[in-house]
Amino acid sequence: MSGRDGRGAPTLESVAALAGVSRATAGRVLSGSTKVGPRARDAVLAAAAELHYVTNRAARSLMTRRSDSIAFVVAESEDRFFADPYFSQVLHGAHGVVARHDMQLVFAVVSGDDTERQRFERFALGGHLDGAILVSLHGDDPLPRRLQDAGVPVVLSGRPFAHQARTPLTYVDADNVGGAMAAVRLLAQQGRRRIATITGPLDMAASVDRVDGFRAELAAHDVVDAGSADGDFSIVGGRRAMADLLAADPLIDAVFAANDLMAVGALQAVREAGRRVPEDVAVVGFDDSAIAVSAQPPLTTVRQPMVEMGRTLATLLLDQITHGGEPQAPVILPTEIVRRASA
């Protein structure tokens, strides 16, 4: 027997014969089963490599009832996704973990458009996914519950918003409250006395937590709350919000922006108002994305471990898939201040 099919491709039988194991054992190894001894597993993998055998993913799916695909879903517009480096960093971390497990990562941008959402839900509920990572959800988004009710495990990037929290959900988040407190503490220690904040959308838990941290730390220092304005996590929104804050209180001497893009917008608005950073107004952002380093002046910011968040999201989802979809304990990753010239 040649051990090859009519097109000359190696077969599962030829791998098993070269490895000296049964066809069933070879099939279990190549389908990812852990119920095979290390010697047999190593022999099968070596034989598969020598014969250049490639597992038929469709056939493996029939055996395992798994698609070997997970989705990375961003609940924002395409413009927002491509403008904010946060998403690409989290995606980078998740992709590395998924690739090491020989699975496919399906990427989807799902904004508020009903047609987009319905298309994704049909795909997800049609058996094409083993699980989904959901990023940047707003408000009481029904998508996590719909997927879970259909037996598709989900992990959220960020703490669930108020109503979502009623359903047990696995999530990974940064210490948003602690990070915002550290930003205000730094500004107060530098002698700033009228501190404002630019928030993200307040239908997102991360934005709410950063506002809460801002206000909690203000209360611990002899400083004035100079107000808040919504900057929608964009540069344009940050510039507009900072202009509004300066118009309402020209004596503002510091601002904490809830992400780096808004902080860059704030830098622009301060310059347009004829004031200097940091001499007249200190600026602190949140994320420590690449834009923080290239900003003028370079941005002091709260670093959240974005790539590590992606890795943790993927790891928790794969664990959840392995254990029958049971939600797992949330993971909160630490943040830290990175000092640069803006504050």
Distance CA 210, CA 244 (A): 20
Distance CA 172, CA 280 (A): 37
What is the model's pLDDT at position 326?
76
Q: Which residues pair with 105 in a beta bridge?
A: 70
218 token code pair? 């203000």
- Domain 12-64: give its CATH code: 1.10.260.40
Residues spanned by CATH 3.40.50.2300 within the chain? 69-174+307-333, 176-303
Residue with the bigger pLDDT between 111 and 247: it is: 247
Residues spanned by CATH 1.10.260.40 within the chain? 12-64
Decide yes or no: CATH 3.40.50.2300 for domain 176-303. Answer: yes
CB of 34 closer than 8 Å to CB of 28: no
Band of pLDDT at residue 56, cut at 50, 70 and 90: low
CATH topology of domain 69-174+307-333: Rossmann fold (3.40.50)
Q: pLDDT of 187-230, one tens digit each? A: 999 999 999 999 999 999 999 999 999 999 999 998 999 999 99
Classified as helix, coil or strand, 274 is coil
Distance CA 342, CA 16 (A): 63
DSSP result, 47-65: HHHHHT----HHHHHHHHT
Q: pLDDT of 83-124, one tens digit each? A: 999 999 999 999 999 998 888 899 999 987 778 888 888 888
Q: pLDDT of 254-300, one tens digit each? A: 999 999 999 999 999 999 999 999 999 999 999 999 999 999 999 99
Predicted TM-score (pTM) of the model is: 0.80
